[in-house]
Structure 1
Amino acid sequence: MTSLTQADPSATADRDTPDHETDFAGSRGPRGAVLLRYGTAIACLAVIAFFAVNLPGTFLTWDNAKGLLSIAAPLLLMAAVLTVPLRIGDFDLSVGYQAQFSCALVVVLLAHQHLTVSSALFVTALAGILVGIVLGVVIAWSGVSAFVITLAAGSILLGLEVKISDNQQISLGIPEAFTDLARVEIGPVPLVILLEIVVVGLLWLAQDRTLWGRQISAVGANVEAARLSGIRNRMIRASSFALVGLGCSFAGILLAAQAQSYYPNAGIGLLLPAYAACFLGSTFMSKGSFHVLGSAVGVVFLAALQNGIVQMNYSPAVANLIQGAVLVLAVMSAQLGRRLAA
Structure 2
Amino acid sequence: MINRSDAAVAAVGGRKPIDWRRAGLVFLSRYGTIVGLLLMLVFFSIMAPNTFFSRANFLNILSQASLTAIIAAGLTYTLVVGEFDLSVGFVASFIGLIVVGFMSYQGLPIWISIALALAVGIGLGLINGVLVTKVRINAVISTLGVGTMLTGIGFSYSAFPIASGIPRAFTNLSLGRVLFGVPNPVFFMLGILLILWTILNRTDIGQKMQAVGANIEAARLSGIRVDRIKMFAFATAGFCAAVTGTLLSSLLGSGTLGVGDGYLLDAFAAVFLGSATLRDGQFHIVGTFVGVLILAVGFNGLAILGAPSNFQPIYKGGILILAVGMSALARRYAAAR
The two structures have a TM-score, normalised by structure 1, of 0.87
Report the 3-state secondary structure (helix = DSSP H, G, I; strand = E; otherwise coil) of the residue aligned with 1:142.
coil
Counterpart residue number, 2:74: 81
Cα deviation digits, residues 229-259 of structure 1 (max 9, x gap): 1100011111111111111110000110111
Counterpart residue number, 2:94: 101
CA distance in 2, matches of 1:220, 1:27: 31
TM-superposed CA distance for 1:171, in Å, is 1.3
Q: Are 2:121 and 1:128 equivalent residues in the alignment? A: yes
Q: What stretches of structure 2 of length at least 5 have no aligned partner?
A: 1-17
Q: Are 2:297 and 1:304 equivalent residues in the alignment? A: yes
CA RMSD of aligned residues (A): 2.2
TM-superposed CA distance for 1:29, in Å, is 4.0
Contact 2:269-2:319 at 8 Å conserved across structures: no
CA distance in 2, matches of 1:331, 1:83: 14
TM-superposed CA distance for 1:129, in Å, is 0.9
CA distance in 1, matches of 2:186, 2:54: 16
The aligned amino acid for 2:144 is: L
Q: Are 2:152 and 1:159 equivalent residues in the alignment? A: yes
CA distance in 2, matches of 1:238, 1:333: 29
Report the 3-state secondary structure (helix = DSSP H, G, I; strand = E; otherwise coil) of the residue aligned with 1:268.
coil
Q: Are 2:171 and 1:179 equivalent residues in the alignment? A: yes
Cα deviation digits, residues 171-215 of structure 1 (max 9, x gap): 121110000001222321222111111111111111111110110
Aligned counterpart in structure 2 of residue 268 of structure 1, from 251, 261, 265? 261
CA distance in 1, matches of 2:326, 2:129: 34
Where do residues 1-342 of structure 1 align in structure 2 (5 Å cutoff)? Answer: 29-165=22-158, 167-188=159-180, 189-325=182-318, 328-329=321-322, 332=325
Contact 1:93-1:271 at 8 Å conserved across structures: yes
Cα 1:318–1:230 change in 2 (3 A) is closer
CA distance in 2, matches of 1:115, 1:267: 23
Cα 1:42–1:100 change in 2 (3 A) is same
Contact 2:266-2:316 at 8 Å conserved across structures: no
The two structures have a TM-score, normalised by structure 2, of 0.88
Cα 1:82–1:338 change in 2 (3 A) is closer
The aligned amino acid for 2:174 is: A
CA distance in 1, matches of 2:236, 2:51: 37
CA distance in 1, matches of 2:24, 2:76: 27
Quick one: percent identity of the two aligned structures? 36
CA distance in 2, matches of 1:146, 1:340: 28
Deviation larger for 273-282 or 45-54: 45-54
TM-superposed CA distance for 1:338, in Å, is 7.0
CA distance in 2, matches of 1:331, 1:251: 24
Cα 1:323–1:218 change in 2 (3 A) is closer
Q: What stretches of structure 1 of length at least 5 have no aligned partner?
A: 1-24
Number of equivalenced pairs: 317
Contact 2:273-2:326 at 8 Å conserved across structures: no
Contact 2:110-2:170 at 8 Å conserved across structures: yes
CA distance in 1, matches of 2:206, 2:332: 30
TM-superposed CA distance for 1:327, in Å, is 5.2
CA distance in 2, matches of 1:221, 1:66: 37
The aligned amino acid for 1:170 is: I
The aligned amino acid for 1:286 is: R
Cα 1:88–1:260 change in 2 (3 A) is same
Contact 2:280-2:331 at 8 Å conserved across structures: no
Deviation larger for 31-40 or 299-308: 31-40
Cα deviation digits, residues 15-65 of structure 1 (max 9, x gap): xxxxxxxxxx99994322321111111111111111111111111212112
Report the 3-state secondary structure (helix = DSSP H, G, I; strand = E; otherwise coil) of the residue aligned with 2:162.
coil
Deviation larger for 92-101 or 257-266: 257-266
Cα deviation digits, residues 91-149 of structure 1 (max 9, x gap): 11111110001000111111221211111111101111111112212211112211111
Deviation larger for 76-85 or 43-52: 43-52
The aligned amino acid for 1:297 is: V
Report the 3-state secondary structure (helix = DSSP H, G, I; strand = E; otherwise coil) of the residue aligned with 1:69.
helix
